[in-house]
Chains A and B, each alone.
Chain A
Amino acid sequence: MADHSNSPAPSSETLVDIYRRMIRIERNDDTIRTAIRRGKLIMPYYSARGQEVIPSAISTLLTDDDTICTIYRGIHDMVAKGMPLRPLWAEIAGRVDGTCKGKGGPMHLTHPETGVMVTTGIVGSSMPIANGLAWAAQLDDSKRVSIAYFGDGASNIGAFHESLNLASLWKLPVVFVCQNNGFAEHTRYENGTSVDFIAKRAIGYGMPGYTVDGNDPWAMYAAACQAIDRARDGEGPTLLECKTFRFHGHVLGDDDKYMTKEEKAAAIADDPLPKFRARLIAEGHATEEQLTGMQEEIQTEVDDAMAFGLASEPPSVDELRRDVFEREIAA
């Protein structure tokens, strides 16, 4: 585990901000899963329930100008980054008011205004593109940082290695955030990955690498501060391996037969949300009423987004000829 003792401790305001983002992710995720089970949404869903802390802590340190590239299990990253929920819901419902006019769907949600630049369905492919966004920030002499989110499985694909090497060589302002939930699709970490800690791979590319408890908001915040400061200061990339657990398997509906019931039950019993909530209250960062009110407010926002998304119209079939190129394809 990393020593980030130089990083500032998060203020109460920051902690509550992290929690707000986590609840927004959790309420949104829960509502999506319910909508799928009730047949209101038809989509492949890669729930990130259980992984809320990672992007929530990171996003408190980012502005809309900072960019993220994420993956199919990435709605939590987008919600943490501030993507509005109405167009998100319209997109996952495949409707014209979606961020991508219903043409991308849940695996390709994009919202440049909040810095959600690319969502990829290909394992590992967020990283080479995040480098390019970081390179542009460097060329612009800006302080923007680029975040590449990916999973533990992605550290075994070539794009990871090419990207870390180039980012280190060019001192790119990028943070590689590996959300290590212990499983690459159905394959247990140790059956697919040659090292005990992915962070060790950073050494091979001449950059700092840290393994962090991705379910601990304090640890995540400290590690993120250090990595993001380093990027903004022009010192180059960092690899953060954030240990976590996904509560709903690879894809919603999978039978989890590749893990033991006990293991899953233990992880869910260790849910970071109620733990964080209890500590926020116990340490006086927030009151019970404040957090309950926040949750109700967020549920209202999510319910409104769902209603908006499901009421939106499907796209016109003419959309097949649009956005292939800038100029519309002739009918």
Chain B
Amino acid sequence: MTETVKLHAFQAINAALHEAMAADPKVIVFGEDIADREGGGVTGATIGLSTKFGDKRVKSTPISEQAIVGAAIGAALAGYKPVAEIMLMNFTTVCMDMIFNHAAKLRFMSGGQSTVPITIRTLTGAGWQTAGQHADHLEGWFAHAAGIKVVAPSNPAEYKGLLLSCIQDPDPCIIIESAGTLFIPQDVPVDQGPIPLGVARVVQEGTDVTIVSWSSMVVRSLQALPILAEKGISVELVDLRTVSPWDRETVLASVARTGRCVVVHEAVRSFGPGGEIAATVSEELFGTLKAPVRRLGAPYSPVPFAKVLEDAFLVSVDQIVAAVTEVAEQG
């Protein structure tokens, strides 16, 4: 039997960082407050790293996101594998130039001479009443930037395995740590290794409806599964894991079998990444679909503060159950 250890997401991330730094002296970790002198990061994800690997390879930075991502890019151009923490995903908006114009494009613009194997870890997600500037799911922004991989794990083992892959990957990666996934402890195999990027995970097999989801909405979809099972609806739940480049093959193969698809994400629905997936499924499988592809996402609104509003902002288990039920009844 595989030996396991009970970890929540930040502990799994911490384990991945420790392993990656021990395995490769080129891995360096930095960001605001991340060294032990500053408490090992606001989430504790980087606790112990500076003590163990020294303050040259593990550095707290000023609150200077452009400088952080720029330093990551430059160090990567010189052969390092930087893991930069941008404390919150909304703070990526103040360093989008470094991410979008430089990290994502330098390989292409240099004709393959420059490689930028950086990993950006970033926290977000509604649920903690952090309101309009601390909780946005911006994976669609980054998925639209050719040249950067967008990773959105849904549980502790996945965080560990996907982060290990991001660090080793030859291309820039942004990995999203979302509120709704974070404090749910799970037995993680002690030897949990890298999980390949761009490969989805079929969480549960089923025959009636495919749910395509990632990050926090995998957690909500899992809560919907027993309710849907009671209704006699057999659901195939696909955790996309990597939003870009996404695993079209797994999704299309699943929907080809079920004939029905519901995409569920935390990001705002309008112009959200679900639109790309729904459109692709519709284009590729139009003749075999038994129902129109449905998308569930946040309303077209900034993330609100008041609990009642925040609850309404997030896609609920009830909404997932209702959408899947409605789709299952068609065709």
Contact = CB atoms under 8 A, between A and B. Distances in A.
Contacts of A325: 107, 147, 149, 170-171, 245
Contacts of A329: 245
A170 B71 CA distance: 11
A129 B108 contact: no
A129 B77 contact: yes
Interface string B55-79: 0110101101111011111111111
Contact of B73 (A99, A132, A158): A132
Contact of A103 (B101, B109, B115): B109
Nearest to B101: A122
Contacts of A103: 108-111
A139 B147 CA distance: 27
Contacts of B149: 325
Interface of A: 67, 69, 98-104, 108, 110-112, 117-118, 120-122, 125, 127-140, 146, 158-159, 162-163, 165-166, 169-170, 322-326, 329
B323 interface: no
A159 B95 CA distance: 9
Contacts of A326: 107, 115, 170-171
A199 B65 CA distance: 24
Specify which of B56, B74, B149 lies most central, judged by the most chain A CB atoms within 10 Å of its CB.
Answer: B74
B74 A129 contact: yes
Given A162-B67, A163-B70, A132 B76 contact: yes
Specify which of A99, A100, A118, A162 lies most central, judged by the most chain B CB atoms within 10 Å of its CB.
Answer: A162
Contact of B70 (A131, A136, A138, A170): A131
Given A102-B111, A118-B106, A125-B70, 8 more contacts: A103-B111, A129-B102, A132-B72, A132-B77, A133-B77, A134-B74, A138-B56, A324-B146
User: Considering the complex of A and B, which 10 residue pairs feature the smallest CB-CB distances, nearest first?
Assistant: A132-B74, A128-B70, A136-B78, A101-B111, A100-B111, A162-B67, A110-B110, A162-B64, A108-B109, A104-B109
* Chain A interface mostly: mixed
A105 to B, nearest CB: 8
Given A128-B67, A159-B70, A120 B102 contact: yes
Specify which of B72, B75, B111, B245 lies most central, judged by the most chain A CB atoms within 10 Å of its CB.
Answer: B111
B35 to A, nearest CB: 13
27 contacts: A67-B78, A98-B111, A101-B112, A102-B111, A104-B109, A110-B106, A110-B114, A112-B77, A112-B113, A127-B70, A128-B98, A129-B71, A131-B70, A132-B73, A133-B75, A133-B78, A135-B74, A136-B79, A139-B56, A139-B80, A140-B78, A163-B70, A165-B64, A166-B62, A170-B59, A323-B111, A325-B170
Nearest to B172: A325
Nearest to A136: B78
Interface string B81-93: 0100000000000
Contacts of A133: 74-75, 77-78
Contact of A165 (B62, B72, B98, B113): B62
Contacts of B146: 324
B193 to A, nearest CB: 20
B318 interface: no
B28 interface: yes
A133 B94 CA distance: 21
Nearest to B84: A132
Contacts of A99: 110-111, 113
B97 interface: yes
A323 B97 contact: no
Specify which of A111, A129, A165 lies most central, judged by the most chain B CB atoms within 10 Å of its CB.
Answer: A129
B76 A100 contact: no
Given A159-B70, A324-B147, A112 B76 contact: no
Contacts of A104: 108-111
Given A112-B114, A162-B66, A325-B147, A118 B171 contact: no
Nearest to A100: B111
Specify which of B28, B67, B149 lies most central, judged by the most chain A CB atoms within 10 Å of its CB.
Answer: B67
Given A169-B62, A325-B171, A110 B71 contact: no
Contacts of A100: 109-111, 113
A278 B324 CA distance: 83
A175 B260 CA distance: 59
Specify which of B61, B66, B75 lies most central, judged by the most chain A CB atoms within 10 Å of its CB.
Answer: B66
Contact of A323 (B64, B102, B107): B107
Contacts of A112: 77, 113-114
A171 to B, nearest CB: 12
B66 A158 contact: yes
A198 B20 CA distance: 42
Contacts of A137: 78
Contact of B109 (A110, A127, A166): A110
B78 A132 contact: yes
Contacts of A128: 66-67, 69-71, 73-74, 98
A134 B79 CA distance: 12
Interface in B130-180: 146-147, 149, 170-171
A162 B245 CA distance: 32
A8 B65 CA distance: 39
A122 B146 CA distance: 18
B98 A117 contact: no
Contacts of B65: 162
A128 to B, nearest CB: 2
A162 to B, nearest CB: 4
A70 B97 CA distance: 16
